[in-house]
Amino acid sequence: MRGSLLVDNIGELVTNDGRGGDPLGVRRDAAVLVEDGQVAWVGPARYAPAADRRIDADGAAVLPGFVDSHAHLVFAGDRAAEFAARMAGEPYTGGGIRTTVGATRAASDDELRATVGRLRAEMRRQGTTTVEIKSGYGLTVAEEARSLRIAAEFTEDTTFLGAHVVPAEYADHPDDYVGLVCGPMLAAAAPYARWIDVFCERGAFDVDHARAILACGQAAGLGVRLHANQLGPGPGVQLGVELGAASVDHCTHLSDADVDALAGSTTVEWLSGPPTSTVATLLPGAEFSTRSPYPDARRLLDAGVTVALATDCNPGSSYTSSMPFCVALAVREMRMTPAEAVWAATAGGAAALRRTDVGRLTPGSRADLVVLDAPTHLHLAYRPGVPLIRQVLHNGVPR
């Protein structure tokens, strides 16, 4: 949409500019000018420049759009029965991934595309304007390439997760599967992927396999992220730090050495320069939906680790597309303050994707913003389960 747009009469504007030592950079009685899909000006409403069009926020809170930095949206079928069994006491092992692999392989391109589109729309209605999308339910050369090709129709942040689990046909010779992932599968996936990911966990890929696969991905120009320390303690988090991963995700079972490694990697100055830290991305929807203990966000934050929140949206461990739900869980169950949780769901997600164009509302950033049906960001945790997203602007366009 051409021409300028003024979002005016904002009661509380979260900019994430860190001004005055406030990470959220909150401004009262503010306005935001949008031009060519970008934020052109931010300031007091009374000094707002003229614009072609105007949105009256009517005293409400305005936030950067949520950045959901971890989602598995390319799949078919669902696993509602598996969820019901868990709620009746069954543990989550990740074994159900193979069920989804079967359904995904049997689906047409259009069916997969429709599912990604439906979930992407669901996310946007809940305030998400940037999403990372992983492959990982294909697990053959052609299927992983297909998943990523479809994911790339929806986002720039596509992640090759050929190493999600060892598929049944390689169960007796997993080394050969690792060879396939590092060789032909990576070659077919790389043109459509920005990132590489491995599920480094007992029952999935051990640390040697994970290191080998991630190193191949790096050599092919992909950035590193990984699923680590979700189901139990393990070497994944420290492997991620060693490899300079943008993010290690889950972080549910951490030793002091894991926390120290993450804290040692942290560069708090990421907003003003190229970020170099490894972010800890917490996925409380997974603990909710697997009835597992939540990660201790407070311990990470107190150690100085950069924390992000994401949905982990997938048909097995976390079938939610809602960042507001994750914010509420993080505050109630993980000892984050509402401000920390909102930062983690916006700027934190951007840091986990090493992006400086989203997750904040400052001149030059993408005009991705959310108008809440609430006077402050506190209401996201204070009013859990309530649809508080009044309006979403993506690239400056009302959606």
Q: Does 312 bind ligand NIG (CB under 6 A)?
A: yes
Nearest Cα to 177, choosing from 169, 301, 202, 110?
Answer: 169
Q: CB neighbours of 264 closer than 8 A, spacing ≥ 6?
A: 241
Q: Between 60 and 308, whose beta carbon lies closer to ligand NIG?
A: 308
DSSP three-state, residue 373: coil
Tokens of 107: 């689906």
For position 292 contacting ligand NIG by CB under 6 A, the verdict is no
Q: Which of 11, 96, 338, 359 binds ligand NIG (CB under 6 A)?
A: 96
Q: How far is the CB of 171 from ligand NIG (least distance, A)?
A: 17
Dihedral in degrees, nearest 10, Cα atoms 272, 278, 279, 280? -160
Helix axes 109-125, 141-151, angle to 10 degrees: 40
- Binding part of the chain for ligand NIG, among 31-39, 40-48, 311-319, 364-372 by CB under 6 A, reads 311-319
What are the C-alpha distances in Å from 201 to residues 249, 297, 353? 12, 21, 22
Give the one residue of 287, 312, 340, 368 binding Fe ion; rule: CB under 5 A.
312
Pick from ligand NIG, Fe ion, none: which does 343 bind, CB < 5 to 8 A by kind?
A: none
Q: Give me the residue label for tokens 């994750």.
A: 326
User: How many residues bind to ligand NIG according to rule CB under 6 A?
Assistant: 15
The interface mask with ligand NIG, positions 167-206, x = CB under 6 A, is --------------------------------x-------
- Least distance to ligand NIG from the beta carbon of 285, Å? 9
CA–CA separation, 277 and 292 (whole Å)? 28
CB of 134 to Fe ion, least distance (A): 7
Q: Does 286 bind ligand NIG (CB under 6 A)?
A: yes
Task: Report the alpha-carbon distance of residue 297 to residue 31 in Å, rounded.
Answer: 33
Q: Which residue stretch of 6-14, 25-33, 312-320, 353-361 sits at the interface with ligand NIG (rule: CB under 6 A)?
A: 312-320
Choosing from 15, 100, 128, 322, the residue that interacts with ligand NIG (CB under 6 A) is 100
Largest CA distance in the chain: 69
Beta strands in 291-354 (DSSP E): 307-309
Residues that bind ligand NIG (CB under 6 A): 72, 94, 96-97, 100, 199, 227, 230, 286, 312, 314-318
Residues that bind Fe ion (CB under 5 A): 312
